[in-house]
Amino acid sequence: MFDRPLNRTYERMMVAIASLNFVVVLFDLTYIPLRDFWLLGKVRIPLIQRVIYLPQPLQITPLYDPIKGIEPHRATQAYIETVAKLRQTIAEQGVDAPATQELLAQLRQQSSTMVDTNPFALANKTGTLEQIKNLMRLKVFGRRDASSKQSFERFWSPEYISAQNWQTNLAWFEQQIIPLMATNYWRRYGEDGNFIDHFDTIDVPFNLLFLLEFLGRTFWLSRQYRGARWRDAMFWRWYDVLLFFPFWWLAPTWAWLRIIPVTIRLDQADIICLDSLERQASQGLVAAIATDISEVVVLQVLTQLQKAIRHGQFSRWLPRVSGVGGSKKTLNDIDELAELAALVVQVVIYRVVPQLRPEVESLVAYSVDQVLRQAPPYRRLLEVPSLEALPIHWRQFLAKEISDRLFLLLEQASKNQGNPTREGALLVSQLVQKFGQTLSAELQEEQVGKVIQDLLVMWLEEIKINFVRQTHIEGIETVLDETRALQQSLEQGQGRLKP
């Protein structure tokens, strides 16, 4: 409700400002790690060990170093200035001039001091110093295990800085070593013990703008919806707080969280579409917890049923037989077991038995034969060869007659089921009542109840095991896929219904 855009032009203007602020924040967060790139304009690719130079139309470091409290380190800056002065002195006075020898001695002293004191430590660039020392070792001695101090001593000696090769060696030093030294810096501390950082001078104007925009937007929304208070609108637009939260003061490294409101505003301004991402994220969250929740709920219910059955609750659930177990309270004055028994009797008599006519006739014929065999005349007839077929015909005739009478009775009862006679209705009622009383009484027997309880507990345990196994085999993603398919079908159906 409260995330409805106010005006497309206004939303796009504000999201452009928010995006600009986010870019500035990212630049500030990455300026120190990437300062060598902004200073030298080159990027080293670790995998192929190559350096790529990128042109920079504007020098960034002279503009942004004061914001971060960065200034050239005195030791390395003095070293660079001495090398430049050496080149100028040699060009004006020559290699053998006393001023040249004095500068060479000064460079040897500065090199020794640099190796001993490590002025690169404050900028966390000790690796740069090690790179410089390795380059000097390879240049002078051709191996990395030589002494770095001796390498500098020998390099700044007449052996290397001579009339024949001073230009080559000095040019190599200016190309390989001076850029590395230039990356070193000194960063001032504030009174709070932290590095000086004036990023607030850039971020505060954005903070004030988005604070005013947040107050104005939420106030306007609270007036547009009657049931919403100003505080409710503020809670609903919680993500906008990140745009004016003073990260530069409380948590500078967390300023990247402004990507949240920027992304949401880009979606609200119809610049990007996050519907699919939002759907996937919500379904991913549901998939992560739905399996555990469903398992806990289902297993808890089944476990409670098992406990109730083990404690004898099953027999209490059965309705008591009138006159035996006393009266039992039922909902809506309905005896569920009696109703179930009546339904079973009706289904058996009117639906099941008529479909079993061949089997019933065979059973009746067998029963008649067993009864007649107990009569001596019947057995004698079976022993007479010429009359042995006669008892068989009698038996089949009696079985068919009894079966026909029985099924005729059932058919007549089925036809008169909707409007039974008073006597038939009384007989059916007595049969159903007797069936229900007998079933309830037998189920309440201790031995029968114990067997039923054990079977129910085992059955519930199998349901639990099969449920957990099936859930882990299929996964909740199957259910989510079905849900997505249904939602897409509904959306397509609604789209076809639109005029």
- What confidence tens digit (pLDDT) does each residue in 436-474 have? 667 666 666 666 667 777 888 888 888 878 877 776 666
* Mean pLDDT lowest among 101-115, 176-190, 264-278: 264-278
* Mean pLDDT lowest among 22-36, 105-119, 210-224, 375-389: 375-389
DSSP 8-class letter at 335: -
Q: What is the pLDDT of residue 497?
A: 42
Of the pLDDT bands very low, low, confident and very high (cuts 50, 70, 90), residue 410 is low
- Residue 272 sits at the vertex; the CA angle it makes with 490 and 200, to the nearest 5 degrees, is 140
What's the Cα-to-Cα distance from 292 to each of 305, 461, 469, rounded to whole Å?
Answer: 20, 18, 13
Residue 400 or 177, more confident: 177
Question: Hey, what's the torsion of the CAs at 210, 214, 217, 220, to 10 degrees?
Answer: -140
Report pLDDT digits (tens) over 316-341.
655 554 444 444 555 556 666 556 66
> Helix (H, G, I), strand (E, B), or coil: what is residue 72?
strand
**Most confidently predicted of 86-100, 273-287, 428-442:** 86-100
Q: Mean pLDDT, the chain, as a whole number? A: 80
Q: What is the pLDDT of residue 496?
A: 47
Tell me how far apart the alpha carbons of residues 155 and 169 are, in angstroms, rounded to a whole number. Answer: 8
Q: What is the pLDDT of residue 396?
A: 72
Looking up tokens 């009894």, which residue turns up?
402
**How is residue 284 written in tokens?**
């991913």
Question: At 195, phi and psi to the nearest 5?
Answer: -65, 145
Neighbouring-strand partners of residue 52: 43
Q: Closest Cα to residue 218, out of 198, 202, 239, 204?
A: 239
Q: Closest Cα to residue 206, out of 251, 243, 260?
A: 243
Tell me how far apart the alpha carbons of residues 69 and 78 are, in angstroms, rounded to a whole number. Answer: 19
Give the residue-averaged pLDDT of 74-89: 95
Q: How many CB atoms lie within 10 A of CB 285?
A: 10
Percentage, residues of the chain above pLDDT 90:
38
Residues 6+ apart with CB under 8 A from 18: 210, 243, 258, 261, 262, 265
Q: Closest Cα to residue 177, out of 135, 149, 142, 120?
A: 135
Residues 6+ apart with CB under 8 A from 144: 134, 137, 138
DSSP 8-class letter at 183: T
pLDDT at 1 over 50: no
pLDDT at 426 over 60: yes
Helix or strand run (H / E) with residue 311:
none
Question: At 50, phi and psi to the nearest 5?
Answer: -125, 155
Give the residue-averaged pLDDT of 253-271: 92
Tell me how far apart the alpha carbons of residues 103 and 87 are, in angstroms, rounded to a whole number. Answer: 10
* Mean pLDDT lowest among 14-23, 169-178, 356-365: 356-365
Percentage, residues of the chain above pLDDT 70:
71
Of the pLDDT bands very low, low, confident and very high (cuts 50, 70, 90), residue 498 is very low
Q: Closest Cα to residue 435, out of 344, 374, 333?
A: 344
Residue 12 or 490, more confident: 12
Report pLDDT digits (tens) over 159-201.
888 878 899 999 999 999 999 999 999 998 888 888 999 999 9
Residues 6+ apart with CB under 8 A from 131: 180
> Helix (H, G, I), strand (E, B), or coil: what is residue 292?
helix
Could you tell me if 7 and 241 are in contact, meaning their C-beta atoms sit under 8 angstroms apart?
no
Could you tell me if 131 and 180 are in contact, meaning their C-beta atoms sit under 8 angstroms apart?
yes
Report pLDDT digits (tens) over 227-244.
788 988 899 899 999 999
**How is residue 256 written in tokens?**
């990247």
Residue 184 or 222, more confident: 184
Tell me how far apart the alpha carbons of residues 267 and 264 are, in angstroms, rounded to a whole number. Answer: 5
Q: What is the pLDDT of residue 477?
A: 63
**How is residue 390 written in tokens?**
């006669």
> Helix (H, G, I), strand (E, B), or coil: what is residue 42?
strand
pLDDT at 221 over 80: yes
What's the Cα-to-Cα distance from 470 to each of 304, 305, 457, 463, 473, rounded to whole Å?
Answer: 21, 21, 20, 10, 5
Q: Closest Cα to residue 62, out of 72, 74, 52?
A: 72
- Residue 258 sits at the vertex; the CA angle it makes with 252 and 263, to the nearest 5 degrees, is 160
Q: Closest Cα to residue 128, out of 169, 193, 73, 82?
A: 73
DSSP 8-class letter at 253: G
Of the pLDDT bands very low, low, confident and very high (cuts 50, 70, 90), residue 100 is very high
- Residue type (1 letter), 26: L
